[in-house]
Amino acid sequence: MLAFSPNSTIGRLLLLRTLAIVAQLLAVIFSQYWLQSQVDMLPALGVIAIASLFQLASVYAYRKQSEADVAGMIMQLAADVVLLTLLLGFTGGASNAFVSLLILPIVIAAITLRRRYALFIAVLAVLSYSWLLWRLPSQAHHHDMTGHFQAMWVNFVFSAAIIVWVVTALAEKIASKERSLAKARERQLHDEQVMALGASAAQVAHQLATPLANLHLLYEEFQEELPDSSLIKEFAEPLAQCQQLLEQFRHQSQLLQGQKHQAKITHHAVLAQLQELLLLEYPAIAVQVVDKVPAVELDYDPMLLPALHNIVNNGARASKDNNVPKLLLRSQMQNNQWLLQVEDFGTGLSAEQLQQVGNKPQSSQYGFGLGLLLTHATLNRLGGSFTIANLATGAQVSVRLPAQLKEQK
> Which of 180, 215, 246 is the endpoint of a domain?
180
pLDDT of residue 144: 60
Of 28-37, 65-74, 214-223, the least confident? 28-37
User: Do residue 247 and residue 151 come from a single domain?
Assistant: no
Look at residue 300 and tell me if it is in a domain: yes
Look at residue 4 and tell me if it is in a domain: no
Q: What is the mean pLDDT of residues 94-123?
A: 89
**What confidence tier does 123 reach under pLDDT thresholds 50, 70, 90?**
very high
Of 136-140, 248-252, 344-348, 387-391, the least confident? 136-140
Name the residue with higher pLDDT: 51 or 367.
51
What CATH number has the domain bearing residue 313?
3.30.565.10
**What confidence tier does 39 reach under pLDDT thresholds 50, 70, 90?**
low
Give yes or no for residue 124 having a pLDDT over 90: yes
pLDDT of residue 138: 55
Give yes or no for residue 367 having a pLDDT over 50: no
The mean pLDDT of the chain is 80
Name the residue with higher pLDDT: 264 or 369.
264
Alpha helices, H only, 135-167: 138-142, 146-162
User: Do residue 30 and residue 143 come from a single domain?
Assistant: yes
Query: How far is residue 291's CA from residue 218's CA, in Å, rounded to a whole number?
Result: 47
> Which of 126, 150, 180 is the endpoint of a domain?
180
User: Do residue 233 and residue 164 come from a single domain?
Assistant: no
Look at residue 34 and tell me if it is in a domain: yes
User: Do residue 230 and residue 113 come from a single domain?
Assistant: no
pLDDT of residue 303: 76
User: Do residue 36 and residue 78 come from a single domain?
Assistant: yes
Question: Virtual CA dihedral for 287, 292, 298, 303, nearest 10 degrees?
Answer: -20
With b for 16 or more beta-carbon neighbours within 10 A and e for fewer, the 298-326 pattern comes to: bbbbbbbbbbbbbbbbbbbbbbbebebeb
Q: Using one digit for the tens of pLDDT, what is the confidence trace for 244-269?
A: 777 766 666 665 555 444 568 888 88
pLDDT of residue 125: 94
Give yes or no for residue 322 having a pLDDT over 70: yes
Name the residue with higher pLDDT: 194 or 119.
119
Look at residue 271 and tell me if it is in a domain: yes
User: Do residue 90 and residue 175 come from a single domain?
Assistant: yes
pLDDT of residue 259: 43
pLDDT of residue 260: 47
User: Do residue 196 and residue 341 come from a single domain?
Assistant: no
Tell me if residue 336 falls in helix, strand or coil. coil
Q: Using one digit for the tens of pLDDT, what is the confidence trace for 48-73?
A: 999 999 999 988 888 887 788 888 89
Backbone angles phi, psi at 344, to 5 degrees: -105, 175
Triad 24, 27, 33: Cα angle to 5°: 140
Q: Using one digit for the tens of pLDDT, what is the confidence trace for 188-203?
A: 766 666 666 666 666 6
Look at residue 367 and tell me if it is in a domain: yes
Determine the structural domain holding residue 138 and report its residue range. Answer: 9-180
Domain count, the chain: 3
Give yes or no for residue 364 having a pLDDT over 80: no
Of 268-272, 312-316, 360-364, the least confident? 360-364
Look at residue 239 and tell me if it is in a domain: yes
User: Do residue 151 and residue 43 come from a single domain?
Assistant: yes
Query: How far is residue 386's CA from residue 336's CA, in Å, rounded to a whole number?
Result: 16
DSSP summary character for residue 293? -
CA 286 vs. chain centroid, Å, equals 39
Name the residue with higher pLDDT: 137 or 273.
273
Percentages helix, strand, coil for the chain (3-state, rounded to 5) are 65, 10, 25
pLDDT of residue 242: 78
Q: What is the mean pLDDT of residues 279-296?
A: 86
Give yes or no for residue 363 having a pLDDT over 60: no
Of 179-183, 189-193, 304-308, 376-380, the least confident? 189-193
Q: What is the mean pLDDT of residues 370-398?
A: 82
Q: Using one digit for the tens of pLDDT, what is the confidence trace for 129-162?
A: 999 888 876 545 555 667 778 888 899 999 999 9
User: Do residue 152 and residue 224 come from a single domain?
Assistant: no
Look at residue 168 and tell me if it is in a domain: yes
Q: What is the mean pLDDT of residues 169-192?
A: 79
User: Do residue 251 and residue 281 come from a single domain?
Assistant: no
Query: How far is residue 351's CA from residue 163's CA, in Å, rounded to a whole number?
Result: 43
pLDDT of residue 213: 78
User: Do residue 163 and residue 243 come from a single domain?
Assistant: no
Name the residue with higher pLDDT: 374 or 395.
395
Give yes or no for residue 230 having a pLDDT over 80: no
Look at residue 1 and tell me if it is in a domain: no
pLDDT of residue 392: 84
User: Do residue 164 and residue 192 come from a single domain?
Assistant: no
Query: How far is residue 383's CA from residue 85's CA, in Å, rounded to a whole number?
Result: 57
> Which of 180, 199, 228 is the endpoint of a domain?
180
